[in-house]
Amino acid sequence: MNSPSMQMQPMFLILFFILCVNANPTVFNIGGVLSTNDSKLYFKDTIAHLNFDGQYVPKGITYYDTAILMDPNPIKTALNVCRHLISSRVYAVVVSHPLTGDLSPAAVSYTSGFYHIPVIGISSRDSAFSDKNIHVSFLRTVPPYSHQADVWVELLKHFNYKKVIFIHSSDTDGRAILGRFQTTSQILEDDVEIKIQVESVIEFEAGLDSFENQLQEMKTAQARVYLLYAGKRDARIIFRDAANMNMTDAGYAWITTEQALGAENVPEGILGLKLVNATNEKAHIRDSIYVLASALRDMNMNKTIQITEAPKDCDNSGSIWETGKELFQFIRKQTLMNGETGKVAFDDQGDRINAEYNVVNIQNRKRKVEEVTVGRHFFNKEFNKMMLTIEEEKIVWPGKRTVKPEGFMIPTHLKVLTIEEKPFVYVRKLAEGETCTNEEIFCPHFNATKDLDSTYCCKGYCMDLLKELSKKINFTYSLALSPDGQFGHYIIRNNSGIGKKEWTGLIGELVSEKADMIVAPLTINPERAEFIEFSKPFKYQGITILEKKPSRSSTLVSFLQPFSNTLWILVMVSVHVVALVLYLLDRFSPFGRFKLANTDGTEEDALNLSSAIWFAWGVLLNSGIGEGTPRSFSARVLGMVWAGFAMIIVASYTANLAAFLVLERPKTKLTGINDARLRNTMENLTCATVKGSSVDMYFRRQVELSNMYRTMEANNYDTAEDAIKDVKTGKLMAFIWDSSRLEFEAAQDCELVTAGELFGRSGYGIGLQKGSPWADEVTLAILDFHESGFMESLDNKWILQGNIQLCEQFEKTPNTLGLKNMAGVFILVAAGIVGGIGLIVIEMAYKKHQIKKQKRMELARHAADKWRGTVEKRKTLRTATAPQRRIKSNGVNDPATISLAVDKYSRIIGPERAWPGDSDIRHRRIEDVGAVQLGPRYLPCDVSHLIV
């Protein structure tokens, strides 16, 4: 049986093997390719002392050195790296090269980079080593020449130079420093007020023979500050030709790099840069070794990284040393706060950052050219950033001046652009042979491609301002109209994946430096201020809404407007209710006419319902009441109350009628920008502005107006003129634009009105190029114009023009009532006439019908009476013949008796009626009381034969 100790032994061996495999190396070789033996010796001593520094070297770790001299032949240098350094398993290489000569550490970088062995350069400053596609493992403790652009930007900020001309050679370093300068100046624009503009870039091929043509071009530019990157030989040619053209005298400023300062003919007054510790090779050797030791220490402390031994054979080209890649990243992340050369740190490309520079000034002292240090660019530990200090009193500028030059040449003739925008700019096309008047300025189209034969003249608010400005600050100008008729807006173009803003219109011409100034109603806003310079506002304004006044609602029932429909209905109902109550009160009152009518034959007819309605309407309409008035006290009290009610109603109606039809002014349809109909735009409400204008940009910025803007965008116009024309014709309901223009239009045409309060308040300013020398002069002149009252006089002359007072007077004057207002009343009268005629026709037809009916009744009554008479006659005859028969039978024949009977009969019957249907009232009354009719009312025949 195996004992437990024998069973445990294989486990310990396995664990020991794992620990041995995972353990990091304890010995690290560091290679060096140095320029001198002194540097080699210092390199060895530094590494020897490093082993005793516990801060950088953990216990159990030992560093060894392997150093060689750089050979002038780069091939031999590469072979020596393989033979002496890589074969010694070096973990990194520190490389230098002589300050004189063309030796380069490129061979060391290529050879070591193939195996990803980190290489730390201590003297090479060529920009080519920043390309990690070629020099994959190269770092350096010195910055490349292109990093001087960072200090240039700081210098320009300090001296307040806003416009420069950049001169550089067409090699890698020249292009690199230009790119670095442009990038750095753009980054700093967000934090500083000054924005540096490169007016011109002059690129030249190395090996110059003459620079006169380029200098001639530079002399016509405005900028007088020159940034120069050139080698020593090329700098000598440039300085020679510049001196011959007097471009190194007073008024000019030159800022150069270190190489150009090496020319023997450097002019006095030039500023240049010198890298601190640039020639101190030992200081860079020490800093590079300690940075490398810090990186190796951090790698050893990182448990997730297994450090493997470095390659030892250049012939084994198939292997890739992954530890070298990791070590490069650790070195790049190191920061040495108290290095011999200052703070040591690296950027993403492995280039040194936070390097310190001295600002030197070339001066002639005792007939000797000297480099005098006048400033420093250093790392401030307190603020943890790079800072620049300049002692300006020590500087001698070109021309032996002690005062800083302005840095630009002020041109006295300016290219001024404008745009047609009433009342600020009126444009008139000239006929053939016609010229501009004294009030006008000649203004052709700027860079026009069509309509070349047409000429124009301009006048207006801005033209008077331009004339006064030119007199005030002493410049001449040539005026031109906008080429596309627009103020301009930006469009974003993607060039190589980078969005770049490009401007059109007036702004685009100014940004591209094709013009010097814009004198127009140009609104100041952040988008434009980012690319051009603005003066102080010459007129303050805002945004408002223009619309056409709504027409009066003069309908046929306009006279009913003083009262609401409900009130009219209540009045109508009240008339008839009061009439009914009056009738009832007078009907049932003991003192009413109904009770008195039977006793007093002289009284008028009693108050019936028709008379009561007539009375109520008569009182309400204030007409005379001739008959049918109430008699009872109760009814008359109600009549007095009704009269008071009628007085109040009529007075209220009269007052409101004056308000509605005489003094009424139509209100605007919109209440302002916050009107719900604009915020939630309806199909029947169209609003618009001008494409690409400042108002358009304002709506783009306002998130709360995004819904409204999306609807507006489809309706936007190219010019304000077209939009205002459509507002007048009613095609466009609301035009949103600058308040100054819209107030002018409303003053010209009283049918137009601005709606709501101003919003988006801003001002009109003079536009100039970025860094224009005229900016301050124009601003001071405009402020002076405001104080002197000149701007107010321009307002009165061009904008107000007295028309606002006319519109206000028109608003305050009562309107004359016309047919439209009172047409309903006339129609009501016409309807009354037509109604009366219609009623009388009806009455006549009804009366005719009644007469026919009455005639039929009379005929029937006549026939009945005739029949009754015949019956009565027969009875009478029978009665009369009866006595005769008795007489005859008795033998009596007395004529007197017969005569008496006939006379009595005649007296009872009475006279005959004149109309068959007529009857005597007294006769009817006798019939009513029961009197017996003795015979017919007329004799049916002659009764004379009855007389014997």
Binding residues for L-glutamate: 521, 523, 528, 694, 738
Report residue 19 as tokens: 């620990």
What is the spatial distance between Cα 848 and Cα 754, in angstroms, rounded to a whole number? 67
Give Cβ neighbours of residue 3 (< 8 Å, ≥ 6 apart).
none
Distance of CA 273 to the CA centre of its chain: 48
Determine whether 742 is exposed, middle or buried from the number of CB atoms within 10 Å of its CB (0-12, 13-18, 19+). buried
Q: Where are the beta strands (DSSP E) in 248-351?
A: 253-256, 271-275, 336-339, 342-346
3-state secondary structure of 165: strand
Distance of CA 215 to the CA centre of its chain: 46
Strands, sheet with 271-275, edge to edge from the N-terminal-most edge strand: 197-204, 163-169, 225-229, 253-256, 271-275, 357-364, 369-380, 385-390
Give Cβ neighbours of residue 301 (< 8 Å, ≥ 6 apart).
58
- DSSP letters, 689-745, are -BTTSHHHHHHHH-GGGHHHHHHHHTT-BSSHHHHHHHHHHTS-SEEEEEHHHHHHH
List C-alpha distances in Å: 47 to 13, 123, 282, 312, 342. Answer: 37, 19, 12, 21, 20
3-state secondary structure of 453: coil
Give Cβ neighbours of residue 912 (< 8 Å, ≥ 6 apart).
937, 938
Determine whether 153 is exposed, middle or buried from the number of CB atoms within 10 Å of its CB (0-12, 13-18, 19+). buried
Amino acid symbol at 736: I
Residues placed in the known binding site:
521, 523, 528, 694, 738
Type and span of the H or E element at 295:
helix 281-301
* Residue 628 burial (CB count, 10 A): 21
Sign of the Cα torsion 517, 523, 525, 527 reads: negative
Distance of CA 550 to the CA centre of its chain: 26
Amino acid symbol at 729: T
Find the Cα–Cα–Cα–Cα dihedral 366, 367, 368, 371, rounded to 10°: 70
φ and ψ of 102, to 5 deg? -105, 20
What is the spatial distance between Cα 179 and Cα 147, in angstroms, rounded to a whole number? 10
What is the spatial distance between Cα 98 and Cα 36, in angstroms, rounded to a whole number? 8
Q: How many residues make up the chain in this entry?
A: 948
Pure H helices in 512-564: 526-529
